């Protein structure tokens, strides 16, 4: 067998392998989608039934989400607002910090970067108590600010932007200074457009991280009307009964924003990860 034939066989095997992995990863989504059209009794009766039986399926579960008594839309709105505000603010501040650490040389730069790495390794459980005391003193308990502000500058995003910026040519910065641009002008008008792949990649990661966040919002938010989707859906599982009708259909709708975000930004996501991983 020639070298080209071996490469072809290897490529086919890799494609088949990842196809199998993709199907395995999509299997839970497929089952969840089918289950969202079935009643709780049917779910317990049929179990892991992957057949599409129109007679046993209906839109009643989705109708329950949009009744006047349902608070699901309020949870959805809270999650969307928090994710949008958090992602925009985190990208803005984290990109500036990462850009400064990657583009400028100043005393204490390496120490700051080491501190960023250290914070990345600290578990949330260790930070919860001091952060909670801080939010209480600031009077932002049960508010969007209480969920967003403690984590608005992401160490992970700072590290990623710093690594991405170190792979960019510093000639752009020098050219901007020669043309009379201020340092802020260089960042916003020259470097930020070049960092678009990094913004795309981190935008998806930060939005997904915040969209699925449960522990910290559960600590900060108190009233049912302020709950986010993860908290609201988890509250449907209680020792006194489980509302699977709303839980599964609500979980299906909860996946839509992240899927749309990824589809709209997948090129930047892939480009940002590959560029940030190779350069620097």
Residue 278 pLDDT level (bands cut at 50, 70, 90): very low
**Which is nearest to 112 in space by CA: 124, 123, 99?**
99
Identify which has the larger pLDDT, 210 or 169.
210
Q: Please name every residue paired with 237 in a beta bridge, in sequence order, or none if there are none.
A: 242
User: What tens digit of pLDDT does each residue of 63-115 get?
Assistant: 888 886 778 999 999 999 999 999 999 999 999 999 999 998 888 889 999 99
Residue 267 pLDDT level (bands cut at 50, 70, 90): confident
Asked whether 251 and 234 are in contact (CB, 8 A), the reply is: no
The share of the chain scoring above pLDDT 90, in percent, equals 39
DSSP 191: I
User: What tens digit of pLDDT does each residue of 169-201 get?
Assistant: 888 898 888 988 888 999 999 999 989 888 988
**Which is nearest to 95 in space by CA: 4, 137, 44, 158?**
158
The secondary structure element, H or E, covering residue 106 is: none
Class of domain 65-278: mainly alpha
**Which 3 state secondary structure label does DSSP give 238?**
strand
Residue 2: predicted pLDDT: 58
Number of Cβ within a 10 Å radius of residue 117: 12
DSSP 55: G
Query: pTM for the full model?
Result: 0.85
Q: Is residue 280 scored above 50 in pLDDT?
A: no
Q: Could you tell me where in the chain the CATH 1.10.3720.10 domains are found?
A: 65-278
Question: What's the gap between Cα 62 and its chain centre?
Answer: 25
Q: Is residue 31 scored above 60 in pLDDT?
A: yes
Asked whether 131 and 210 are in contact (CB, 8 A), the reply is: no
**Which is nearest to 252 in space by CA: 50, 2, 61?**
61
Q: Is residue 237 scored above 80 in pLDDT?
A: no
Residue 60: predicted pLDDT: 85
Residue 125: predicted pLDDT: 85
- Rounded to whole angstroms, the Cα distance separating 10 from 233 reads 44
DSSP 237: E
Which of 5-9, 73-77, 118-122, 169-173 has the weakest average pLDDT? 5-9
- Rounded to whole angstroms, the Cα distance separating 222 from 230 reads 14
Which distant-in-sequence residues (6+ apart) come within 8 Å of 38 by Cβ?
A: 46, 56, 57, 61
Q: What's the rounded mean pLDDT across residues 142-170?
A: 91
Which distant-in-sequence residues (6+ apart) come within 8 Å of 236 by Cβ?
A: 242, 243, 244, 246, 247, 250
């Amino acid at each position: 067998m020639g070298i080209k034939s071996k490469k072809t066989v290897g490529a086919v095997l890799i494609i088949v392998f990842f196809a199998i992995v993709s199907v395995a990863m999509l299997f839970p989504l497929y089952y969840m989608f089918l289950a969202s059209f079935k009643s709780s009794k049917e779910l317990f009766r049929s179990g892991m039934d992957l057949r599409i039986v129109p007679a046993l399926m209906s839109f009643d579960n989705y109708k329950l989400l949009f009744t006047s008594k349902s608070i699901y839309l309020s949870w959805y709105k809270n999650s969307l607002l928090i994710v949008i505000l958090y992602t925009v603010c985190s990208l803005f501040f984290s990109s500036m910090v990462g850009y400064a650490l990657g583009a400028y040389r100043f005393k204490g730069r390496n120490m700051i970067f080491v501190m960023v790495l250290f914070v990345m390794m600290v578990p949330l459980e260790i930070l919860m108590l001091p952060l909670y005391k801080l939010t209480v003193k600031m009077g932002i308990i049960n508010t969007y600010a209480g969920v967003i502000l403690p984590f608005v500058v992401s160490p992970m995003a700072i590290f990623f932007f710093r690594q991405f910026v170190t792979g960019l040519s510093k000639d752009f910065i020098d050219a901007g200074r020669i043309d009379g641009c201020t340092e802020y002008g260089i960042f916003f008008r020259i470097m930020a457009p070049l960092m678009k792949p990094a913004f795309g990649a981190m935008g998806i990661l930060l939005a997904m991280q915040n969209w699925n966040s449960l522990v910290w919002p559960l600590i900060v938010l108190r009233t049912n009307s302020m709950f986010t989707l993860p908290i609201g859906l988890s509250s449907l599982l209680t020792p006194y009964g489980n509302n699977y009708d709303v839980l599964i259909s609500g979980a299906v709708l909860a996946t839509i924003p992240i899927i749309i975000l990824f589809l709209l930004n997948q090129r930047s996501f892939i480009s940002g990860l590959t560029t940030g991983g190779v350069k620097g």
